[in-house]
Amino acid sequence: MKLVINGEEAISKDGINVSELLIEQDVKMPEMVSVELNGSIVRREAFDATNLKEGDKVEFLYFMGGGSVAE
Amino acid sequence: MLNEEQIERYSRHIILENVGGAGQQKLLDSSVLIIGAGGLGAPAGLYLAAAGVGTIGVVDADTVDLTNLQRQIIHHTDDVGKEKVHSAEAKMRAINPDITVQTHNLRIMADNVRDIIREYDFVIDGTDNFAAKFLVNDACYFEKVPFSHAGILRFDGQLITVLPGETTCYRCIFGAPPPADAVPSCSQAGVLGVLAGVIGSLQATEAIKYLLQMGELLTNTLLTYNALTMTFRKVHLRRNPNCLLCGQSPQITELRDEEQGVICDIKDCKC
């Protein structure tokens, strides 16, 4: 099925859930990612139970530190 | 009233139709707090000083290190070893003696941050770790002070403006700091110096827009930037009804110090 991930069209297995999508899309550190699905943040605990469908818009939002990165 | 020298100094602002003499006076009467005089805070501090934001607070507990100079352009080579707040104050006052700089040579904690931020009209989060970023978010929520959040890593940066209680907050998006062992260590990370200049300057832009009530703020929108592909993207967000801070059933009702999210494995590393 077709999804839009971070603004770009992507092909994914039909009906997979958010956890599976993170693996499929080779997200290296899923703990560092928040997932927005069609405009709403998906709770981390709900990743497994949230199945995706054709045309869904997914955003992977990454934790980023800042100014002097780490101290 | 602007004096003659001010009219000349700020002439390129004053001729802007959205600013004018009244807008410039408003900037001079405004205050912004910059938390962290590092990569993000450096350009933000310099531009806000140049713009004539009348009162600028700077919070930082560190001293200038040689490894900072690759991106923290408010600090110069001669400043290595000096307290960052005083190094920053000197440059801001050198650019514009019109302004007052208030230095806070301390680390923000749950028991001191609210007293500091409530004195300011707008806050720029230029902190460098997740615990501090959540603390700034929560404190600004409780004090209802708008702020600009930003983060940078390697070749990527992002920012969002938060009007507490009205628009998406940092916790709406990220919930809580990531587990410490998930965060890339300093030795693996790094950051392109100029990236801090781009993102910190955007934060300063948001501060000025907020103070002058002009344009569209970056609220409910995370702006992401990748330097390698030179791509900016706006990710539209809504307030999260499950947000622990500003959601429908808040769990966080007072400030607390989060676990430090980033643990560095190299002594004295300031990458």
Domain boundaries, chain B: 4-236
Q: Which two tokens stand for residue B194?
A: 């100029």
Asked if residue A22 is part of any domain, the answer here is yes
- For A64, the closest chain B residue by CA position comes to B151
Asked if residue A24 is part of any domain, the answer here is yes
When CB atoms are compared, the residue of B175, B235, B269 closest to A59 is B235
Asked if residue A67 is part of any domain, the answer here is no
Domain of A28, CATH number, reads: 3.10.20.30
Asked whether the beta carbons of B141 and B51 are under 8 A apart, the reply is no
User: B152-170: per-residue pLDDT in tens?
Assistant: 999 999 999 999 999 999 9
DSSP string computed for A8-70 = EEEE--TT-BHHHHHHHTT-S-GGGEEEEETTEEEPGGGTTT-B--TT-EEEEEE----TTS-
pLDDT at position B63, please?
97
User: B199-247: per-residue pLDDT in tens?
Assistant: 999 999 999 999 999 999 999 999 999 999 999 999 999 999 999 999 9
Within 8 A of B236 by CB-CB distance, chain A residues are 39
When CB atoms are compared, the residue of B129, B178, B238 closest to A40 is B238
User: B82-113: per-residue pLDDT in tens?
Assistant: 999 999 999 999 999 999 999 999 999 999 99
Within 8 A of B186 by CB-CB distance, chain A residues are 69-70
pLDDT at B270 over 70: no
**How confident is residue B185, by pLDDT bands cut at 50, 70 and 90?**
low
Residue B271 near chain A (CB below 8 Å): yes
**How confident is residue B187, by pLDDT bands cut at 50, 70 and 90?**
very low
When CB atoms are compared, the residue of B40, B125, B240 closest to A41 is B240
Asked if residue A58 is part of any domain, the answer here is yes
pLDDT at B271 over 50: no
- Percentage of residues of chain B with pLDDT beyond 70: 93
Asked if residue A19 is part of any domain, the answer here is yes
Structural domain that includes position A15 = 2-62
Give residue for tokens 């001669």. B78
Q: Which CATH class is domain B4-236?
A: alpha beta
Asked if residue A27 is part of any domain, the answer here is yes
Tally A–B CB contacts below 8 A.
Answer: 117
C-alpha to C-alpha distance for B71 and B65, rounded to whole angstroms: 11
ipTM of the complex: 0.89
Residue B233 near chain A (CB below 8 Å): yes
Residues 144-183 of B with CB under 8 A from A: 150-153, 156-158, 172-175, 178-179, 182-183
Asked if residue A49 is part of any domain, the answer here is yes
**How confident is residue A71, by pLDDT bands cut at 50, 70 and 90?**
very low
- Percentage of residues of chain B with pLDDT beyond 90: 88
Q: Which two tokens stand for residue B43?
A: 């350009």
Q: Nearest CA to CA, how far is A57 from chain B (Å)?
A: 11
**How confident is residue B120, by pLDDT bands cut at 50, 70 and 90?**
very high
Asked if residue A70 is part of any domain, the answer here is no
Give chain A's domain count.
1
Q: Would you give the end-to-end CA distance of chain A in angstroms?
A: 44
Q: Which two tokens stand for residue B145?
A: 């002070």
pLDDT at position A28, please?
85
pLDDT at A16 over 70: yes
